[in-house]
A = this chain, B = another copy of it.
Amino acid sequence: MVDIATRVYNHRWKMDPIVRSLIDTDFYKLLMCQSVFRNRPDTNVTFSLINRTTSVRLAELVDEGELREQLDHIRSLSLSRGESTWLRGNTFYGKRQMFTPEFMEWFEGLTLPPYHLEVRDGQYELTFEGKWPEVMLWEIPALAVLMELRARAVLGHMKKFELQVLYARAMTKLWEKVERLRPIDGLRIADFGTRRRHSFLWQDWCVQAMREGLGERFVGTSNCLIAKNRDLEAIGTNAHELPMVYAALAPDDASLAQAPYDVLSDWHEEHDGNLRIILPDTYGTKGFLDNAPDWLAGWTGIRVDSGAPEAGAETAIRWWKDRGEDPRQKMVIFSDGLDVDKIIELQAQFAGRVRTSFGWGTLLTNDFRGLTEDDVLAPFSLVCKAVSANGRPTVKLSDNPRKAMGPEDQIERYRRVFGVGEQEALDVIV
């Protein structure tokens, strides 16, 4: 029996929206948003989309009208009652009422601010300007929309069984990864793949496959909507945009040097336990840790998000020991360019020495490498970053010079202020 009503309803759609909820975003965005809403609500920021994989000429692949439709659709969204109830009533990281009534009231009234879209050199220049707490919520949906529109552009040329086999191959590929992870004792792994996912439905499938295949070893997803729908833990803490904006706002070199610690000082007031995770690499991990105040050594863990992850973890372990902390009580979260081989290696190297945890992103939710001719569905390196704050440019260095962002002269200044020496250049996988 055909459900005629469903079919007629579906035919009436003008488009197939990619992002259908304001909580189809990463959990850490909401945590950071609340922190910004509390501490720096009036900061004006500009976020900008940057495609680091220039060989993928997005503006030639993706129709501008379709992109605008998707972005306009996101601007039409507001928090639903059920989403609001979930955010207000759910327990996150063991804590009730993670989100304050003031923040929730603001979020319930929010629609995302306008966007600015131009085409240059075959790429989209997509920028968002306005109050930081509003603009920052564009990052994840903007990335997800562009990733999925690029996939749709490719998929639109495929026949019915080709499509079915494509997804069969992708499922097989992911499941083989799950099977390789299954025997690993003490594994703790989460989905961090929202921003560069192949599509929403595919991410949702991946998350469910991870849950069935890994059981308790799969600790949750960064995606709030999927966490809500699938009754999973929402996972995430904080990201580079906090120190980047705080740093840009610093009036002089002395306060610039202090900015990353100011971020964590604000965070320290707001969060405890497993939410106290240091992201030390924004302006170089080594300098950050060398100059860190002692109270930071009491935090729960460190997230390693650039550079060689083994080196980052060893640096963290040494630092904890130097500060009189027991690394075995500390957590290292690996979240940069992970795939199964690397996860297995890192777990073998660090299990027992620290509490390890893995935030698996692009190669969980978008590993379509090798599944099409000319690899036209391979993931690519698209980011959406704060590029200025109150008119002042932002800078990111990280532990990999290929990930550095910002005006050249400011990069030099930041390298000087933060005492960043030689860095090993590593390929940016995704």
A-to-B contact residues, CB < 8 Å = 1-3, 5-6, 9, 159-162, 164-165, 167-169, 171-172, 175, 208-209, 212-213
Q: Give chain B residues whose Cβ lies under 8 Å from the Cβ of A213.
A: 161
Contact A161 B209 (CB under 8 A): yes
Nearest to A5 among chain B residues (CB) is B1
Contacting pair A1 B3 (CB below 8 A): yes
Chain B min CB distance to A67 (Å): 29
Report the bound CA distance from A175 to B371 in whole Å. Answer: 12
User: Are B160 and A212 in contact, CB atoms less than 8 angstroms apart?
Assistant: yes
Across the interface, which residues of B come within 8 angstroms of A209, CB to CB? Answer: 161, 164-165
- Which of B162, B164, B168, B212 makes the CB contact (< 8 A) with A159? B212
Q: What are 8 A-B residue pairs whose CB atoms fall within 8 Å in the complex? A: A1-B6, A1-B9, A160-B212, A161-B208, A161-B209, A161-B212, A165-B172, A168-B175
Complex contacts, A160 vs chain B, CB 8 Å: 212
Closest to A3 in B: B3
Complex-state Cα separation, A167 to B164, whole angstroms: 11
A168 proximity list for chain B (CB < 8 A): 167-169, 171-172, 175
Cβ of A117 to closest chain B Cβ, rounded Å = 35
Q: Of residues A6, A9, A168, A175, which shows the largest number of chain B Cβ atoms within 10 Å of its Cβ?
A: A168
Question: A178 to chain B: closest CB distance in Å?
Answer: 9
**How many copies of this chain does the complex contain?**
2
Contacts of A208 in B (CB 8 A): 161
Q: Which residues of B contact A2 (CB under 8 A)?
A: 3
The 6 closest A-B pairs by CB, nearest first: A3-B3, A168-B171, A168-B168, A165-B175, A161-B212, A1-B6
- Report Cα–Cα, A213/B1, bound state, in Å: 29
10 additional contacts (CB under 8 A) given A162-B212, A167-B168 = A1-B3, A3-B6, A159-B212, A161-B175, A161-B209, A161-B212, A161-B213, A164-B171, A168-B171, A169-B172
- With a cutoff of 8 Å between Cβ atoms, the chain B residues found around residue A171 in the complex are 164-165, 168
With the chains together, A167 CA to B160 CA distance in Å? Answer: 16
Residue of B nearest to A162 (CB): B212
What is the chain B residue whose CB lies nearest that of A4?
B3
In angstroms, how far is the closest chain B Cβ from the Cβ of A92? 26
Chain B residue numbers with a CB within 8 Å of A167 are 168
Closest to A9 in B: B1
Measured CB to CB, the closest approach of chain B to A10, in angstroms, equals 9
Residues of B within 8 A of A165 (CB): 171-172, 175, 209
Which residues on the B side are within 8 Å of A1 (C-beta)? Answer: 3, 5-6, 9
When chains A and B are docked, how far (Å) is the Cα of A212 from the Cα of B213? 33
State the CA gap A167–B167 with chains docked (Å).
11
